[in-house]
Amino acid sequence: MRIRYKEKSHELESLNLQLEQASEFKSKIMEAQSSLKKELEKVKREKQEALEAKEEMADIADTLEMATLDKEMAEEKAESLQKDLEQAQERIEELEMEIEILKSELSDKSEGITTQVEGEDGQPMTFKMKQILQQNDKLKDTLVRLRDLSAHEKHEKQKLLKEFEEKNAEFDQVIKANDKLKTRINEMEEQMEELHGYVDAALGAEEMAETLGQQKLTLEDKIKELEEAVMELEELQEVNDQLQEGFKEQEQDFRQELDMKNLQVWEAQRKTESVLESLADRELIIVKFRELVHKMQEENQELRSQLELSSKSSSLSSSLLPEMLDFKKMFAETKAHARAIELELRHMEIQQAQRHVQYLISFMPDSFLSRGGDCDAIMLVLLMPRLLAKCQVLISQLRDKFTAVATVDKTTATSAKQFSAMSRFCTHIHLLQGILHQFTHSLNTCKPATLLKAGASYPDMAQQEKALDGYIEMLKRERVDENLSTDSLEKIVNYFNTVHPTLLLSSGDCTVHQGQLLADLGKALLCAIDSARLISILSWHSCRRVKGWRL
């Protein structure tokens, strides 16, 4: 029910988000549509202005063509007037020459002409002279008019040339403006095409806005339905919370009971370990006792054979000795029988403790036995003292089996080699004890979350115990000598030295037990010094033997 409530709430949040996105998208589309409409109107106005400018350009082009035609006509007229002027000037020059000729003739014949006889018509001969003078005056007037006309034509020509230059400059400007307007028109047409595309997109956006509006309505209906479902789920959630509170109380009770049972299990395991240790000690005592009994029986047999050959005076003492031996044998058998009964009782207690643990585990939840659960954390806490105990067993047995050598000579060379090898082996054992003590201190002081995190690595750590079991098995079978390999032991030490900072020290709630670490390192250093000292002495003796030296 809680999962369904979460799914409904997530679906409601997603629908609300889609609704907000749709409304924002609709507002953006409307703003874009309004801006596109404004741009479209602006482009339409610019297009109309461009068309008007184009029409004005056409009118200007027509005017320019008319001005060009007028210019050509004016140039033709100016050329004709120039030709007339040149002809008139030539005519004036001819007339001036004739006038000069006539003046010279008149000046030569002025006296003779006045004394001449009158003509047949009764008029004097000066009439031609007057006529020539009048004609000369007319020609002068004509010449003046021609000069005025030429000056006027020249002025008109200059005026027309100036107007032509102005029109030409205006025509160039109009051509440039026409080119600019053409490029502007092309740009406007491209913008029109883009705006048509925008308009089409805006129309599509309007359709999308309509569909989004419909979707919004449907989403609002769904939201109402989901709100009703959320109300129902909230009611169910309240019921679920109440149930969970009850479950939490039960879980706390179960956890307290589990802690008590774990404590009992730990005590039972501790008792089991002590019983096993006592069993091992007693088995060793029994073995030694049996060896002693066998030895005493052999001695008894020898003494009996000697007594049979001895004199009759010692017959009384020989009869008392077997009785004493039989009494000691009976006492030892009685003591061994009592120890055997005690061992059977201890074995029964161990079996009962193991069954108790199995019964407790059967009532635990599945999460307790899962990988990285509470069970692994508990087993990890129990693993470290067990490994420390096995290390201590190895050290004590090796010290009992291989005693220290005070002086090194030919007779004690083998013992010295064995003690050196065992000292090197004990060095690694002390280093392993050092890191195991740090593990034990960190596991006893860390937080529960850190303990669970470290418990996930219990299967890998449990594999390291097999190497120690292998060394103990070799010790049982009397296969431990100076050729014993320490590779597996070094791998165990390197493994725990690598895992300890990663799992425990990195969490920040664990510290290093410096006093214990210093003590373990001191023990390892002493063993290493013993091994190095004996190795150096043995090397010195071997060098002397090679060179033929003598002590």
With respect to residue 121, please indicate whether it lies within any of the assigned structural domains.
no
3-state secondary structure of 457: coil
The structure tokens listed for 252 are 């706390």
**Helices 374-401 and 413-445, packing angle to 10 deg:** 160
Decide if 278 is inside a domain.
no
Any domain includes 118: no
Judge whether 54 lies within some domain. Answer: yes
Q: What CA–CA distances, in Å, run from 431 to 273, 338, 463, 502? A: 23, 41, 19, 19
Q: Domain span at residue 49? A: 2-108+126-239
The residue among 364, 181, 167 whose CA lies nearest residue 257 is: 364
In a domain, residue 528? The reply is: yes
How many domains, in total, are found in the chain? 2
- Residues 395, 468 contacting (CB under 8 angstroms): no
| Boundary residue ending a domain (239, 272, 293) | 239
Of the three residues 218, 239, 260, the one that is the final residue of a domain is: 239
| Residue 23 amino acid letter | S
**CB 77, CB 208: distance < 8 Å:** no
pTM score, two decimals? 0.41
Q: Is 202 exposed, middle or buried (0-12, 13-18, 19+ CB in 10 A)?
A: buried
Phi, psi of 200 (to 5 degrees): -60, -45
pLDDT in tens, the chain (551 residues): 556 656 667 777 777 777 777 777 777 777 777 777 787 787 778 777 777 777 777 777 777 778 778 777 877 877 777 787 778 777 777 777 777 777 777 676 655 544 443 444 444 445 566 667 777 777 777 777 777 777 777 787 788 778 777 877 777 777 777 777 778 777 777 777 776 776 676 666 667 667 776 777 777 777 788 778 778 777 877 887 787 777 777 777 777 677 677 667 777 777 777 677 777 777 777 777 777 777 777 777 777 777 777 655 444 454 545 555 555 556 566 666 666 777 777 777 877 777 777 777 777 777 676 666 788 888 888 899 999 999 998 888 888 888 777 666 666 667 778 888 888 889 999 999 999 999 999 888 888 888 888 888 888 888 888 888 888 888 888 787 778 888 889 999 999 999 988 888 887 778 888 888 898 899 889 888 888 887 777 777 666 655 554 44
Strands (E), 94-165: none
Residue 114: predicted pLDDT = 46
Per residue, the 3-state secondary structure of 379-433, as one string, reads HHHHHHHHHHHHHHHHHHHHHHHCCCCCCCCCCCHHHHHHHHHHHHHHHHHHHHH
The DSSP result for 174-207, as a single string, is HHHHHHHHHHHHHHHHHHHHHHHHHHHHHHHHHH
Is 551 inside any structural domain? yes
Give residues with Cβ within 8 angstroms of 234, minimum separation 6.
Answer: 5
468 HSE (CA, 13 A, CB side): 24
Residue 201 lies in a domain: yes
Tell me which H or E stretch contains 139. Answer: helix 127-309
For residue 429, count other CB atoms closer than 10 A to its CB. 27
d(C-alpha 61, C-alpha 69), whole Å: 12
Residue 118 DSSP label? P
Pairwise CA distance, residues 307 & 389, whole Å: 51
Please identify, among 239, 267, 292, the residue that sits at the C-terminal boundary of a domain: 239
Contact in structure between 393 and 452 (CB atoms under 8 Å): no
Largest Cα–Cα distance of the chain, in whole Å?
245
205 in a structural domain: yes
Q: What is the pLDDT of residue 113?
A: 47
For the stretch 167-203, pLDDT in tens is: 777 777 777 777 777 787 777 777 777 767 766 766 6
Per-residue confidence (pLDDT) for residue 332, from 0 to 100: 60
